[in-house]
Amino acid sequence: MKFAETRNNAVPTYCVSTDTLLEVSATFDQTVKEWIQKNHFLGSIGQSVLCPTKEGEMIALLGMGNKNSRKRSRFSLAAAAKSLPAGSYEILNPEAVENFEIEALGWLMNSYIFDKYKNKKDTHAYLVEPKTINSKRILQIAEAEAFARDLINTPTSDMGPEDLALAAKSLANKFNAHYSEIVGEELIEQNFPLIHAVGRASSQEPRLLRIKHGNNGPKVTLVGKGVCFDTGGLNIKPGRSMGLMKKDMGGAANVLALASMLLSTDVNIQLTVLIPAVENSISGNSFRPGDILKSRNGSTVEINNTDAEGRLVLADTLSLASEENPDLLISMATLTGAARVAVGSDLAPFFTEKNDVSEILKASGEAQSDPVWPLPFWDPYEKLIEPEHADLDNAPSGGFGGAITAALFLRRFVSKPSSYIHFDIYAWSETNKPGLSKGGITQGPRAILHALPKILDL
C-alpha cells in the first residue's frame, strides 16, 4: 500500500455527492458537462467517470453518494476509486469528503493485493499524497494493515509457528523492541501445559512469543491467538470447514498490526505482546476428547472437543499476562463460529465489564470505519462451563451462547477482569469490498488504537 510516487501526470480529481453534482459540474466546461450526461454519472457511491476537457486534458469525478447511502458503504471514496483505471489521481476538493483522512486510508487499502505467489503483478489507481491530512500516519496504519493481511493470507506451508515467530521477531527488530520465545519442551518446564498440549502433535514445535517495548506509562498487554492451522484435532473438521483454517492465527496477526500502529507513534505505554503459536494437528500424541488437563493457573480443563483449542492456548497466555499486572489486557482471537452467527462477518464483537469502555470502543470503531460491537460477559452462563469432573469445560454442550461461554472461559484466567477486553474476530473478508479485498483483514485494531487514550484515562 502506497501513495502515488509523483504528482506529475496525475489526473485532477473531484469528489461529488448526488446532492452536489449540479453545483460542482457548473464549474466545468461544456465538454465535461456533456461527458457526465453521456456516461450517466449521478454521483452515486461506486461511480467514477473520466472526462475530457475542451483543452484535451482529462479530469476524474468520483461519486460519494448521499448521507444514507454512505451509511451502507464503509469506504465511499475507495468504492469509487475501485472503478478507476490504473494511474495516479490527485483530489482537488478534499473538503467535499466527510472524514477525508479515513477515506484516504480506504483508498490506500484498495491497493492491497496478495500477489506473493503470482508472477503477474496487478496495477492500481494510486492516490497522490494529500496535503491536508497526516498522510505519514495514514501510511503507517496502512502498512500495518498490509502486514496483518499478508500473515493471514500466507498458507500454513509458509506460515507455521516457526514462520509466525520470525514475523513477530522482525516486527520487534523494526521498532527496537525486545523479543523472546519459549519453545517445545521448555513450555512444560516453564508451566505452559495447555499451549504444549495443543501444539505438540505438529512437526513444528509449539511456542510462546513475547514482544516488550517501553519502560514508562501504563502497562498494556495484547494477547493474540496464533493457531497457524486448525485441523480440529482428533475431532477433525469436515473438509469445507478446514479450508480457511490458515486464518486461525488471525488474532495474532491483528495484535501484531495493532502493535505496529502503536510502536510507530510516540505513545507512552509499556507494551507487551504475547502470542501462543501452535498448529492443532493430528498424530499419535494428539490431546484427546475426555482428557483433563491442568492449566498454568492450576485450573483443570475437561476436553470435550479438541476443536475448541484456541481458548486453551489463550488460557495459559492470559495467566502469564495477568501475573505481570497490566493496566489493560486485550485478547484477539478467531475463536467461535457463534460470534459470526451473532453479528455476521463485518462486525468485530468484543466483551468488557465496563459500559463506558464499551461506548468508547463503539464510537471509535464508527469514527475509524472499523466497526465493533459489544456482547456481554453474562454471569448466569458461568455454570455452562463447569463440568462434572474438572474446573472448566472447553466445549459446553447445548450449542447456545457459544461466543459468550468462550469469553467467560477466558475470563477465568484473568486476575483483573475489569481491565480485560476480549475480541472474537473473523479476520476475513468473504468477497472483494472497497478497501477490503477478499482474504485476511484486521478487525478492531484501528478502533482500539484511537480508543486507547480514553480507555487508559478512565
Cα–Cα distance for residue pair 159/150, rounded to 1 Å: 10
- Identify any residues that bridge with 12 across adjacent strands, giving them in sequence order: 90
User: C-alpha grid cell for residue 87?
Assistant: 494511474
Q: If you count them, how many residues does the chain have?
A: 458
- Are residues 451 and 364 in contact, defined by beta-carbon separation less than 8 angstroms? yes
- Are residues 230 and 306 in contact, defined by beta-carbon separation less than 8 angstroms? no
Using alpha carbons, select from 244, 169, 174, 255 the residue that is nearest to residue 207. Answer: 169
Which residue of the set 2, 33, 137, 237 is catalytic? 237
Which residue of the set 149, 207, 311, 412 is catalytic? 311
DSSP 215-229: SSS-EEEEEE-EEEE
- Residue 135's CB: how many other CB atoms inside 10 A? 18
Question: Strand pairing of 439-440 and 372-375?
Answer: unpaired
Using alpha carbons, select from 315, 317, 355, 310 the residue that is nearest to residue 336. Answer: 310
What residue type is assigned to position 115 of the chain? D
Cα–Cα distance for residue pair 203/183, rounded to 1 Å: 13
Cα→Cα distances 303→188, 287, 308, 311, Å: 19, 8, 8, 11
Q: How far is CA 25 from the centre of its chain?
A: 39
- Are residues 198 and 206 in contact, defined by beta-carbon separation less than 8 angstroms? yes
Query: Is-catalytic flag, 38?
Result: no
Cα–Cα distance for residue pair 332/123, rounded to 1 Å: 33
For 445, phi and psi rounded to 5 degrees?
Answer: -60, -40
Question: Strand pairing of 270-280 and 226-230?
Answer: parallel
Cα–Cα distance for residue pair 396/405, rounded to 1 Å: 8
Q: What is the DSSP letter of 19?
A: T
Cα→Cα distances 450→73, 272, 444, Å: 21, 18, 10
- Identify any residues that bridge with 125 across adjacent strands, giving them in sequence order: 87
- Are residues 58 and 51 in contact, defined by beta-carbon separation less than 8 angstroms? yes
For 320, phi and psi rounded to 5 degrees?
Answer: -60, -45
Residues marked as catalytic = 237, 311
